[in-house]
Amino acid sequence: MSDDLVKTLADLKEKEALKIVEDRINAGEAALKVLNDARKAMEIVGKRFANGEYFIPELVYSGEIMKGITNILRPKLAHAAEFKRVGKVVLGTVAGDIHDLGLNIVDFMLDVNGFEVYNLGTDVPPQKFVDKIRETGAPIVGLSGMLTLAIDSMKETVQLIKAAGLRDEVKIMIGGIPSVDDNVRKYVGADGFGRDAMAAIAMAKEWTGGKK
């Protein structure tokens, strides 16, 4: 039955997936076990996205189905489910920019790849990044932005991280800007840039000492 949920959810069959979850809970199965299967399915969704088999609508839809599943499971979970995490990442769209699509895709992909993500949302002032790095001790920071105005905002954020004495404690990646390249990375003062979410995952894995 656990294979059923993994396959059904990974194939985005919403009604069937929700029914399996209901049935398993009604049959007395532990909610945490069901949730673990759902997470396995989401990992497959992430892999299919990385392979070019799935696109953004599939990520959005799987996220919605997952919401339905956690709504069923939440009352049955005695305590917050804990998963083994491979590293922490502070993420956000920089000050002045309110675009969040790319940000949330990177969040999704980092999450299904085992990272603990602190997503600060959009239009995040540099100081908020600094505060969150201090609070969480995250060794990786992801700066997102869609508009060209974000390039200077990213630069200012990196400068403040440096001024706060944290620059050597973190690796910083940037992404979202169309045609972001090494020139932009150097201008901003970041450690890496990515043109898609898969590049972000590869960098995060490399920086945490894992395999690419």
Partner 1 sequence: MGKDTNKTPGQLYHERLKRIEDAIELKVPDRVPVICDFGLLPARYAGMPIKDAYYEPEKLAAATKKLVTDLEPDMFHSILFLSGSVWEILDTKVMKWPGHGGPIDHVNQYVEWDFMKADEYDAFLQDPVDFILRTHLPQTCGALAPFKKLPNLGLLLYIDRGGGPLVSFADPEIWAAFETLHKAGLEQLRWFHIRMAFVEEMEKLGFPSMYIPPLVQVPFDNISDHLRGLHGSMLDMYRQPDKLHKAIEKLMPLMLNIVKDWAAIVKSRPHAPTLVPWGPHRGADPFMSPKQYEEFYWPWLKSLIQAIIAEGITPYMFWEGDITSRLEHLLELPKGKMICRFDVTDIFKAKEILGGHHCIAGGVSSAMLQTATVQEVKDHCKKLIDVVGKDGGYIMHHSCALDEAKPENVKAMIDTCKEYGVYN
End-to-end CA distance of the chain: 32
Residue that is written with structure tokens 């932009």 in the block: 184
Question: Any contact of residue 149 with partner 1 (CB under 8 A)?
Answer: yes
Which of 56, 77, 81, 86 touches partner 1 (CB under 8 A)? 56
Q: Which of 77, 72, 58 is nearest to 9 (CA)?
A: 58
Question: Any contact of residue 198 with partner 1 (CB under 8 A)?
Answer: no
* Residue 4 token pair: 């059923």
Q: Which is nearer to partner 1, 133 or 201 (CB)?
A: 201
Query: Which range in 68-76, 98-106, 131-139, 202-210 contacts partner 1 by CB under 8 A?
Result: 98-106
- CB-CB contact of 14 with 68 (8 Å): yes
Question: Any contact of residue 111 with partner 1 (CB under 8 A)?
Answer: no
* Residue 136 token pair: 């969480």
Which of 6, 31, 97, 109 touches partner 1 (CB under 8 A)? 97
Q: Which residues contact 153 (CB under 8 A, 6 or more apart)?
A: 94, 95, 96, 97, 126, 145
Question: Any contact of residue 103 with partner 1 (CB under 8 A)?
Answer: no
Which of 30, 147, 166, 199 touches partner 1 (CB under 8 A)? 147
Which of 152, 156, 169, 191 touches partner 1 (CB under 8 A)? 152
Residues that bind partner 1 (rule: CB under 8 A) add up to a total of 31
- H-run or E-run covering 39: helix 31-50
Q: How far is the C-alpha of 85 from the C-alpha of 62, rounded, in Å?
A: 21
CA 197 to chain centre: 9
Q: Which is nearer to partner 1, 87 or 194 (CB)?
A: 194
Q: Which is nearer to partner 1, 90 or 95 (CB)?
A: 95
Site residues (vs partner 1, CB under 8 A): 12, 14, 54-58, 60-61, 64, 95-99, 101, 147-149, 151-152, 177-181, 183-184, 186-187, 196
